[in-house]
């Protein structure tokens, strides 16, 4: 487990939840397939090495994908492996190389990702942003020539684990219809902001600016289940519950859903992300970005990484951040059995569940998918616990 994930897990036992997760492990393990984090990372590395990826690059990708599954974001973990494999196989993503700083000032930088794997670009850029924040109070780094980088929260928590506020944004292939439109225009364009509290506690916002990520629709399709209303539309722009209609020629809805339910706000946030990522960096943006299933052209995604050093501002940041989170959690819940949470709490519960079970519990269809990838590549499939 990377230092960022270790430091951002709160003392759940101190909140009386340790025994709960031990019981949960005993009752839920049979409902899926448990695989250790180390084994899933090793499996991803085996797959990427098989198609010629540099070892360090493969390890960076594995770390980020497993972090997604560990935090419960299954749409951005193992579920995405085939996409990375295909991009390397087709030559639309470089298996080796290093990002390059193109333009730099004390607090800012423009990076050319050189079309290597997104996690390699992302880690390079956030490290650079943190270095700048140590000296200038803030580091704002944008990248072009990048690729899908996994969960945005991986990069924001890199900064939070070092006592800074971290922010991460990326644009993506057109999947989301604009408010009032019916065709794909913007990507899911996620936003992540992370900030440290006390004793390993933290605020970690990690969200798409669409109603959901495409991977969640794909997972429902893979499990043979419908999707909730408000997630997506069919090719006629009508809200649908059928994943196959979305995946054929439909579109995701912006955060908030339709115009009547304030989807225009999510649409505006998605454009803001593209401003920071595509427009500011000189990468592709909007409908200029390659389609999701395009495996002939480089993605040229734009990404943005921000680190803010609280020491440059009012003293006592972590104390106040913790106080704010404590205030939120102490609010009277509408349902006494469902306490008020802060962003990052659901992910922490999932990490504790994984720890109690001795690994990540995958749906059987996800493991079958991994086995299929292994068979096609001729590598050893992931070992079950």
Share of the chain above pLDDT 70, in %: 92
| pLDDT at position 328 | 99
Confirm if 276 and 169 have CB atoms less than 8 A apart: yes
**Which pTM does this prediction carry?**
0.90
Question: For residue 2, what pLDDT is reported?
Answer: 53
d(C-alpha 30, C-alpha 182), whole Å: 42
Let me know: does 90 contact 150? Beta carbons within 8 Å: no
Phi-psi region of 282 (alpha: psi -120 to 50; beta: other; left: phi over 0): left
Q: Quick one: pLDDT at residue 31?
A: 65
Positions of the chain with pLDDT under 70: 1-31
Please state whether beta strands 138-146 and 108-112 pair in parallel, antiparallel, or not at all (unpaired). parallel
Contact criterion met (CB below 8 Å) for 109 and 183:
no
Q: What is the pLDDT of residue 223?
A: 86
How far, in Å, CA of 176 to CA of 227, rounded? 16
Q: Which helix (H) or strand (E) holds 7?
A: helix 3-7
DSSP 8-state secondary structure symbol assigned to residue 176: B
Provide the pLDDT for residue 214.
Answer: 85
Domains of the chain: residue spans and CATH: 22-92+357-377 (1.10.1530.10), 98-211+262-343 (3.30.1370.60), 214-252 (3.30.60.50)
pLDDT score at 331? 98
């Amino acid at each position: 487990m990377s230092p960022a994930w270790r430091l951002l897990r709160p003392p759940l036992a101190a909140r009386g939840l340790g025994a709960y997760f031990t019981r949960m492990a005993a009752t839920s393990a049979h409902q899926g397939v448990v695989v250790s984090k180390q084994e899933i990372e090793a499996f991803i590395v085996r797959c990427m090495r098989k198609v010629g990826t540099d070892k360090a690059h493969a390890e960076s990708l594995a770390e980020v994908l497993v972090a997604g599954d560990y935090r419960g974001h299954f749409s951005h973990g193992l579920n995405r492996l085939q996409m990375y494999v295909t991009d390397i196989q087709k030559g639309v993503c470089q298996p080796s190389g290093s990002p390059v700083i193109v333009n730099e000032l004390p607090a800012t930088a423009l990076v050319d990702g050189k079309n290597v794997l997104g996690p390699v670009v992302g880690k390079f850029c956030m490290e650079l942003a943190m270095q700048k924040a140590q000296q200038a109070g803030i580091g704002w780094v944008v990248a072009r020539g990048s690729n899908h980088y996994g969960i945005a929260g991986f990069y924001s928590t890199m900064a939070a684990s070092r006592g800074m506020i971290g922010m991460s944004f990326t644009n993506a292939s057109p999947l989301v219809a604009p408010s009032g439109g019916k065709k794909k225009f913007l990507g899911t364009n996620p936003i992540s902001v992370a900030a440290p509290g006390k004793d390993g506690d933290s605020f970690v916002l990690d969200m798409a600016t669409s109603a959901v990520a495409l991977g969640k629709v794909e997972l429902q399709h893979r499990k043979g289940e419908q999707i909730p209303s408000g997630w997506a539309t069919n090719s006629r722009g009508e809200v649908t519950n059928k994943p196959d209609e979305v995946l054929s020629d439909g579109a995701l809805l912006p955060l908030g859903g339709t115009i009547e339910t304030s989807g225009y706000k999510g649409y505006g946030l998605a454009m803001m992300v593209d401003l920071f990522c595509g427009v500011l960096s000189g990468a592709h943006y909007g409908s200029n970005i390659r389609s999701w299933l395009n495996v002939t052209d480089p993605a040229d995604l734009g990404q943005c990484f921000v680190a803010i050093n609280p020491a440059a501002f009012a003293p006592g940041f972590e104390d106040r951040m913790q106080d704010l989170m404590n205030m939120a959690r102490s609010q009277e819940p509408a349902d006494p059995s469902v306490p008020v949470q802060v962003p990052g709490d659901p992910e922490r519960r999932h990490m504790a569940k994984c720890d109690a079970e001795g690994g990540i519990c995958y749906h059987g269809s996800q493991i079958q998918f991994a086995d299929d990838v292994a068979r096609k590549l001729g590598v050893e499939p992931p070992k079950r616990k």
